[in-house]
Structure 1
Amino acid sequence: MWALGEPFHALTYFADEARTAYAGAGLRGFWAGYFAGRAAPLGPVGPALVTATFGSFAPDFVARRVPEVWTAVAPADALAARLAGVDAAVQRSLPQWIGSPEAQEAATLARRAAEAVDVLGRPLAAANADVPWPAEPHLVLWQALTTLREHRGDGHLAVLLHHELLGLPALVLTAAAGTTSADWLQKARGWSPEQWTACAEELTGRGLLADGGLSADGSALRAAVEADTDRLAQGPWTALGDRGCDRLAELLTPVRRAVVAAGEWPAQNPIGVPEPD
């Protein structure tokens, strides 16, 4: 479900219309829009809370954008801009799908799942669950998938914290697994080469890395983290039920295909952030 829904959610980061909407609201550059748009449900929060809830960025990288973004735009206006950007992107990439019975059905099912999220201990899920529902089905679908995405992300951070991997260690393990390059992750999350090297040495000492790659223990721990993340994310999908999930997956498949075909989703980038500007 994450794989099917994430490209539609990610329109708010990668679609040209989203960047235009953020710029129109006074947010210049990719990262200003990213931090303001994603953090806006929390209110005009400072860098410490953004660093804590986003979970993978270097603190000084966040502090270069937050709280300055709130001098350019109020959280309510950032929320309006992110919806406007998604709306325009969907109007372009899925014009015949908007207003269809399939869009309405997908929105209804996704909203049912999103309204079943357990927000206890999940700040980004809770904040997004408190955002008023938009009227249009395609935007209801986007808001629901965003809430579900942040619900999963909150659980993922809890699992990483339990295993003492939250923040830079998780990125180093990701690079060691070969899914994303270390150089790219350092730049995209704001960590210095020195910080990266020190963390890699620590993980080697813990027996999780060997010769620059994952050790057997590192591979097993990474698999366990993903399994626990799935388990903690299962609640809203259980509430939706097997038939509801199967039908939503069926409805999301052509949506995902259209978004990817339109070039809005950087398929080469599994964690969904472009080269920093």
Structure 2
Amino acid sequence: MTQVVHPARALWWLFEPVHALTYFSPEARAAYESAGLRGYWRGYFGGRSAPLGAVDAAPVVAAFFNFAPQMVERALPELWDRAAPELALQARLDGATGALGRVLVDVKPDLIDRSVELLERAVDGLDCAGRVLAAANAVLPRPDGSLARLWQATTVLREHRGDGHVAALVAEGLDGCEALVVRCALDTRRETLQPHRGWTDAEWDEATARLTERHWLAPDGSLTPEGRRRHLALEAATDLAAARVWTHFHRSELDELAAALRPISTLCRADLPPTTPIGLPNAS
């Protein structure tokens, strides 16, 4: 049976790989290191939280949601002594556009330009109430250059969706570690997620026990029918929260956006690791 995918999710699958180059490309790592953010996680936390300003760890723990507090606290606020938010923002944009320039070198410029036009229309129509990361990114100055604009538009849209996803997780009564345990019960190895989010073995095992007590998980760690139902409900809520902006587009425009983005997304996805912690379906 063919799975029906919500249009908002189908579009996210297309624009997320464009944004995600900032986490995995050598150009991004080099740009952060040149700015003084040496070490992968300084670049990650510095670049992604820079739109919020020189914040302490607590708001980043809240906004990013599934990182262990102690992991964020090792980076923040110390990294702002190495690179002010303005420098981190420029580094993340430089790294992203450098990666896109390499990956999309053979893509027709008109596909990039049309993608930018339609994605920026979507950004201009976003309601960011209750979405702190999206709002902080949406008010940044629009950069020069089509690749920079492409990356920034996809970034605002993915943070908007991510903020809605966090709200759905909270509404389902999940905390950050529990959300990761559920993800691993679906399609990801614990060894892939746990080290990248900083939770200890004890914290992970306690989260697993809580989910078992609440009938999300069976004793063998697999999702129960109740767990699958509730997971589908939170994913549907995420799609619904991300869908409103796309209702302002005609179906023909959404088809045009998908057609323009698809070759761009395919090349960006091929440049990412086959398995990532960011929620995209694993590459086949």
Please say if residues 120 and 153 of structure 2, whose CA atoms lie closer than 8 Å, have aligned partners that are also in contact. yes
Question: 1:66: which partner in 2?
Answer: 76
SS of the residue 2:249 aligns to: helix
Please say if residues 10 and 272 of structure 1, whose CA atoms lie closer than 8 Å, have aligned partners that are also in contact. no
Superposed displacement of residue 87, structure 1:
1.5
C-alpha distance in 2, partners of 1:267/1:250? 23
Please say if residues 58 and 190 of structure 1, whose CA atoms lie closer than 8 Å, have aligned partners that are also in contact. yes
SS of the residue 1:213 aligns to: coil
Q: State yes or no: 1:155 paired with 2:164.
A: yes
Q: State percent identity of aligned pairs.
A: 46
Moved more, 251-260 or 147-156: 251-260
Evaluate the alpha carbon distance shift between residue 71 and residue 240 of structure 1 in structure 2; reply closer, same or farther with a 3 A threshold. farther
Question: 1:90: which partner in 2?
Answer: 100
- Which letter maps to 2:189? S
One of 210, 214, 217 as aligned partner of 1:209? 217
After superposition, the C-alpha distances for 1:128-182 in whole angstroms (9 at most, x for unaligned) are 00111012112111111100000000000001111111311111111112x1111
Question: 1:268: which partner in 2?
Answer: 275
Q: Deviating runs (4+, > 4 A) in structure 1?
A: none
Evaluate the alpha carbon distance shift between residue 252 and residue 65 of structure 1 in structure 2; reply closer, same or farther with a 3 A threshold. same
Please say if residues 193 and 277 of structure 2, whose CA atoms lie closer than 8 Å, have aligned partners that are also in contact. no
Please say if residues 157 and 166 of structure 1, whose CA atoms lie closer than 8 Å, have aligned partners that are also in contact. no
SS of the residue 2:175 aligns to: coil
After superposition, the C-alpha distances for 1:85-111 in whole angstroms (9 at most, x for unaligned) are 11111221212437x222111101000
Question: 1:119: which partner in 2?
Answer: 128
Q: State yes or no: 1:237 paired with 2:254.
A: no
Question: 2:230: which partner in 1?
Answer: 221
Instruction: Count how many residue pairs are aligned between Structure 1 and Structure 2.
Output: 269
Superposed displacement of residue 243, structure 1:
2.1
Correspondence list, 1:21-100, <5 A:
21-97=31-107, 100=109
Structure 1: tracts of 5 or more residues without a match = none
Superposed displacement of residue 270, structure 1:
5.2
C-alpha distance in 1, partners of 2:268/2:258? 15
C-alpha distance in 2, partners of 1:104/1:183? 40
- Which letter maps to 1:14? F
One of 189, 203, 213 as aligned partner of 1:195? 203
SS of the residue 2:236 aligns to: helix
Superposed displacement of residue 244, structure 1:
2.0
Question: 2:138: which partner in 1?
Answer: 129
C-alpha distance in 1, partners of 2:244/2:124? 11
C-alpha distance in 2, partners of 1:10/1:140? 15
C-alpha distance in 2, partners of 1:258/1:29? 26
Moved more, 232-241 or 11-20: 232-241
Evaluate the alpha carbon distance shift between residue 195 and residue 272 of structure 1 in structure 2; reply closer, same or farther with a 3 A threshold. same
After superposition, the C-alpha distances for 1:43-96 in whole angstroms (9 at most, x for unaligned) are 111100000000100000100011111111111111111111111112212124
C-alpha distance in 2, partners of 1:158/1:245? 26
One of 176, 183, 197 as aligned partner of 2:185? 176
After superposition, the C-alpha distances for 1:228-252 in whole angstroms (9 at most, x for unaligned) are 1000000122223322221111111
Evaluate the alpha carbon distance shift between residue 106 and residue 185 of structure 1 in structure 2; reply closer, same or farther with a 3 A threshold. same
Question: 2:25: which partner in 1?
Answer: 15
C-alpha distance in 1, partners of 2:116/2:89? 19
TM-score (norm 1): 0.94
Evaluate the alpha carbon distance shift between residue 137 and residue 165 of structure 1 in structure 2; reply closer, same or farther with a 3 A threshold. same
